[in-house]
Amino acid sequence: MKRLIAIVFVCFALGTIAQNQPKLIVGIVVDQMRTDYIYRYWDRYENDGFKRLLKDGYFCKNVHYNYIPTYTGPGHASIFTGTTPMEHGIIANIWYDKNSSDNLYCVGDSTANSIGTISDQGKMSPLLMLAPTLGDAVRMSSLFKGKSIGISIKDRSAILPAGHSANAAYWMDYGSGHMITSDYYMDALPKWVSKFNASKTADKLADKGWKLTLAKELYTESTEDNTIYEKQLITGVDPVFPYDVSRAISESSYYSLACTPHGNTYLRLFAEQVLINEDLGQDESMDLLTISFSSPDMIGHMFGPQSIETEDTYLKLDLEIAQLIEALDTRVGEGNYVLFLTADHAAAPVPQYAHDNGFKVDYFNLADYKKGMDELLFSKFNIEGIISNYSNQQIFLNWELIEDNNLDQKEISSEIRKYSLGFDGVANMLDIKQLQPALPTDNFSRLAANGWNPLRSGDLLLQMLPGWMSYGKQGTTHGSSYSYDTHVPLIFYGWNIGHGENLEPIDITQIAPTISLHTNISFPDASSHKGIMLPGK
Ligand SMILES: [Zn+2]
C-alpha cells in the first residue's frame, strides 16, 4: 500500500510538473532598441503596447551585453543560447575565416538550398552556431513534440534563435518581398506561407507610403525632420516625410520596405499567421515562437536615434506590439503564454551630431589606419603581408608568414599596439591571447574575453574611444563595449509573472536560463546558470 501511495505520489508530482508550464514562450527582439526609448517616447505611447508590458510585467532596467562585438548575429545567438561568442562561436555577422581565408556569413550555408525563392537568399542555416538555443531546449524537453519557430525580416535573426532542431525559420527575400526559408527546415513552403506571399502584403503596405502617426510638431523628442545627420531612403531625395515607399522599392528592392515601419507591420501580420496555422500554444507541449523586428535597426542606421523617423518608428512599433499581444490573448489565452522583449544591441548617437554638440567624438579613419600600419610593419620587418585581415576591430596575423620568416610575434604585436595607441580615436589595443587565462578587470577586457572564440577570432583587438566609429557621416552603427551599444531593455510578461522593476546589473546571457527556470525545462547546453528571480503573480 505504501508503495502504491508512493507511485501515485510520484505520478501526481510528475503530472504537476508537466502542467506547470505555459503553453507558449514568445521571445521578441527589437533590433537596435535602446533602453531609453522606453522613457523618451513614454508620453506618446498608447496603453496596450509597451505600457501594458511594463504595467503588468517585470522590467529589468539595467541589462547589458557582456561581450563584444555588439552586432545582430552574436546578439541573437547570445540571447537564446545563454552564452557569449566565446562558446556559441557567432563572433560577428561576417567574419574572416582563418583556415580558408574566406569571409563567412554567420548563417550562410553553401549546402543549403532556397525554398520559396529562386535567389540565393535561402541558402542559410544555423550550421556555424556551436551551441544549442532555448528553442532546442524546448524541443528536447518535450521529446520534440513542442515546436520552435523563428521569424524575422533578417535571415540571421530568424535562424539563430530558433536553434538547430527548429521546426522552421522564415525571413524576407528582398527581391520578391516574400517570406522564405531553406531546405535545412523543409522541402517546400507550407500552403499558408505561399498564401501569405500571394496576398502581396509587402506591396499593399508600401502603397500607403510612410506618413507620421502624429502631427509633426508633436515629435518633441527629436530634431527637425531634415538634418545633415540622416541618409536618404531614395537617392537624391531629402530625408523628409512623407516617404514614397513604393518608389524606394522600385529603385532598389524590398529592402527599402524593411527600412520603414511597414517592415514591422509585415512581420506582425506574418506572426499572426504563424500562430494560427502552426497551432502554437494549442496542445500539452509548450512551444517557442521568436519574433525579431529588424526594421528599427535599419531605420536607426539610416537616420540615427535623434531623428523623427526613429521616434515615429517606436510609436508605430508600440501599436504593433499591442496587436501582437491581442492576437496572443485571442489565440493562446491571456496568462497561458510567457513573453519576453529585449534587443540584440543598442546604438551610438550619430558621431557628427554628438561632435557638433560639444562631445569629443569624431570618425575613425580606417583606410589611413591600415595604410599607416602596413607601411610601419614593412619598414620594421622588411616583409609584406604580416596582417592577413582586419575586420570587426580585430587584426588577424599571418602566422604562416611569421613562422616561415622567424619573425618575433611579440615584437610585431608590440609595434601594432604602439602604432594603434598613437592613432586618432583609439582607446586601447589588446593582444587577446594574453588575456587567457588571466581574469580581466576592466570592462573592455572582460567583454573582449567573452567575445573571443579560440577557433575563430583574431589576434589583436582594437578599442576606439567612446562615441567614435568607422562609418559614413550620416546615420549610426553599433558594435562597441560602451553603454550606448550594450544597454538594452528587458521585459518579462505573462504566465505566473508579477509586476516589478529590477535595477541590478544583468547580463544578456541571463535571459535564457531565466526562461528555462521559469518554464521548468532544461537549460540550453552552454547557457549561463544565473537566472533572474521573477516576481510571482
Ligand atoms: Zn545594425
443: CATH: 3.30.1360.150
220 is known as an active-site residue: no
pLDDT value for 537: 86
Q: Please give the distance, rounded to the nearest whole angstrom, from the Cα atom of residue 309 to the centre of ligand 1.
A: 16
Tally helices (H) and strands (E) across the chain: 21, 17
Residue 481 burial (C-beta neighbours within 10 Å; 0-12, 13-18, 19+): buried
On whether both 418 and 507 belong to a single domain, the answer is: no
On whether both 94 and 208 belong to a single domain, the answer is: yes
On whether both 100 and 175 belong to a single domain, the answer is: yes
Say if 171 falls within a structural domain.
yes
On whether both 323 and 198 belong to a single domain, the answer is: yes
Say if 471 falls within a structural domain.
no
Tally of domains in the chain: 2
pTM above 0.85, yes or no: yes
pLDDT value for 315: 98
Q: Which amino acid is at 58?
A: Y
**What does the alpha-carbon distance between residue 100 and residue 196 come to, in Å, rounded to a whole number?**
40
Q: Please give the distance, rounded to the nearest whole angstrom, from the Cα atom of residue 228 to the centre of ligand 1.
A: 20
Q: Please give the distance, rounded to the nearest whole angstrom, from the Cα atom of residue 478 to the centre of ligand 1.
A: 6
On whether both 326 and 450 belong to a single domain, the answer is: no
pLDDT value for 442: 83
Q: Please give the distance, rounded to the nearest whole angstrom, from the Cα atom of residue 488 to the centre of ligand 1.
A: 14
**Backbone φ/ψ region at 392: left (φ over 0), alpha (ψ -120 to 50), beta:** left
On whether both 201 and 286 belong to a single domain, the answer is: yes
On whether both 202 and 54 belong to a single domain, the answer is: yes
Say if 118 falls within a structural domain.
yes
Judge whether 167 and 148 are in contact, CB under 8 Å. Answer: yes
On whether both 116 and 220 belong to a single domain, the answer is: yes
On whether both 90 and 137 belong to a single domain, the answer is: yes
Say if 324 falls within a structural domain.
yes
On whether both 241 and 376 belong to a single domain, the answer is: no
Say if 537 falls within a structural domain.
no
Query: Scanning the structure block, which residue is given the C-alpha cell 551585453?
Result: 65
Say if 474 falls within a structural domain.
no
Say if 318 falls within a structural domain.
yes
Q: Please give the distance, rounded to the nearest whole angstrom, from the Cα atom of residue 70 to the centre of ligand 1.
A: 9
- Set 35, 70, 72, 290: catalytic member: 72
Helix, strand or coil, per DSSP, at residue 14: helix
**Inter-CA distances, 430 with 229, 375, 439, Å:** 32, 21, 14
Q: Please give the distance, rounded to the nearest whole angstrom, from the Cα atom of residue 344 to the centre of ligand 1.
A: 9
pLDDT value for 439: 65
- Rounded to 10 degrees, the C-alpha dihedral 369/370/372/377 comes to 130
Domain of 404 in residue numbering reads as 366-423+426-464
Q: Which amino acid is at 286?
A: M
**What does the alpha-carbon distance between residue 277 and residue 273 come to, in Å, rounded to a whole number?**
6
Say if 361 falls within a structural domain.
no
Q: Please give the distance, rounded to the nearest whole angstrom, from the Cα atom of residue 12 to the centre of ligand 1.
A: 49
Per-residue pLDDT of the chain (537 residues; tens, 9 = 90+): 444 444 444 444 444 444 599 999 999 999 999 999 999 999 999 999 999 999 999 999 999 999 999 999 999 999 999 999 999 999 999 999 999 999 999 999 999 999 999 999 999 999 999 999 999 999 999 999 999 999 999 999 999 999 999 999 999 999 999 999 999 999 999 999 999 999 999 999 999 999 999 999 999 999 999 999 999 999 999 999 999 999 999 999 999 999 999 999 999 999 999 999 999 999 999 999 999 999 999 999 999 999 999 999 999 999 999 999 999 999 999 999 999 999 999 999 999 999 999 999 999 999 999 999 999 999 999 999 999 999 999 999 999 999 999 999 999 999 999 999 999 999 999 988 776 666 667 889 899 999 999 899 999 999 999 999 999 999 999 999 999 999 999 999 999 999 999 999 999 999 999 999 999 999 999 999 999 999 998
On whether both 238 and 156 belong to a single domain, the answer is: yes
pLDDT value for 19: 58
Q: Please give the distance, rounded to the nearest whole angstrom, from the Cα atom of residue 21 to the centre of ligand 1.
A: 34
pLDDT value for 441: 74
CA geometry: angle at 179 spanning 192 and 102, to 5°? 140
Q: Please give the distance, rounded to the nearest whole angstrom, from the Cα atom of residue 301 to the centre of ligand 1.
A: 6
On whether both 188 and 309 belong to a single domain, the answer is: yes
Instruction: Read off the CATH number of the domain in which 113 is found.
Output: 3.40.720.10
Residues 6+ apart with CB under 8 A from 447: 65, 66, 67, 68, 481, 486
Rg (CA), the chain: 24
